[in-house]
Structure 1
Amino acid sequence: MHNYGDINYASVWGNFGEKLVSEYLVKNGFKVLHRNYRQRYGEIDLIAEKNEVVAFVEVKFRQNEYFSLSDVITRSKQKKIILAAKRFISMSDFVDKVFRFDVALILKEGDNFRINYIENAFVES
């Protein structure tokens, strides 16, 4: 993580990535409900809804597409996201919704970016 002067580049890239994935979700019929939903348990990058499905989305940048999902999002991070999601659900008026945990991997390809979107990337165990 680089922090030059007052610029935190991890934060800048994170915001950029969340914006890209938000646009991707909207183009694919989702309504983005929240960005950077924070609870004391953890943070969820994006919460989006489509057809009675609520997706809790973790956004990550990758240098290449050869990875293990556990390298991208650790079990500890998954647990924090799950706890924050439970809190979100308990405070919402959602009834009869399906909830899932997705991961959006952003890959830089030259001057372009590609999103590898993984539905149901992990589950509560």
Structure 2
Amino acid sequence: MRHLSGRDAEDRAAAYLEAKGFRILERNYHSRFGEIDIIAEDGRYIVFAEVKGRTPSAYACPAEAVTPAKQRKIIYTALMYLQARPTDLQPRFDVIGILAGEPEPLLEHLENAFSGGGYG
């Protein structure tokens, strides 16, 4: 598999999370600040997951593509989500990197990949 579409990467990430026992709450949640690929529940956490797919020839690993500016957009979007849907769950920000490969893509799940603090 040389090419991995964004939709395919998100589908694979969602299936992976469900197989690990996560409950998918939303996919492609939009706010005026940006988009969150997957919002899921994992025990005591509400997980805001950014999915990044890459080809083997990509310069950076998928997780490195989640820049501080992208993190801020995700955090602000998560705040909008939580204002509309209050919860007692602890927010967590994960990154799921999918590297296209043969015969199957490789998936890396980084839990608590960045902090939601300091957004004010």
Q: TM-score higher than 0.5 here?
A: yes
Higher relative contact order (CA 8 A, sep 6+): 2
Which structure dedicates a bigger proportion of its chain to strand?
1
**Which amino acid is 1:80 matched to?**
K
DSSP-derived class of the 2:111 partner = strand
Per the TM alignment, residue 68 of structure 1 is displaced from its structure 2 partner at its CA by 6.3
CA deviations on 1:40-72 (whole Å, 9 max, x unpaired) are 011000000011211100000123498467731
| 5+ residue gaps, structure 1 | 1-9
Task: Tell me what 1:101 maps to.
Answer: 93
Q: Distance in 2 between matches of 1:39 and 1:46?
A: 13
1:48-59 correspondence to structure 2 within 5 Å:
48-59=40-51
Q: Distance in 2 between matches of 1:14 and 1:69?
A: 12
The correspondence for 2:68, drawn from 57, 75, 78, is: 75
Q: Distance in 2 between matches of 1:38 and 1:109?
A: 30
Percent identity between the aligned chains?
36
Name the TM-score, length of structure 2 as normaliser: 0.85
Residue 83 of structure 2 is aligned to residue 86 of structure 1? no
Task: Tell me what 1:4 maps to.
Answer: none
| 5+ residue gaps, structure 2 | none
Per the TM alignment, residue 31 of structure 1 is displaced from its structure 2 partner at its CA by 0.3
Q: Give the CA RMSD over aligned residues.
A: 2.2
Work out which of the two has the higher radius of gyration on C-alpha atoms and give 1 or 2.
1
Q: Distance in 1 between matches of 2:86 and 2:17?
A: 22
Per the TM alignment, residue 111 of structure 1 is displaced from its structure 2 partner at its CA by 2.8
Q: Would the aligned equivalents of 2:23 and 2:41 in 1 still touch at CA under 8 Å?
A: yes
Q: Distance in 1 between matches of 2:38 and 2:84?
A: 16
DSSP-derived class of the 1:121 partner = coil
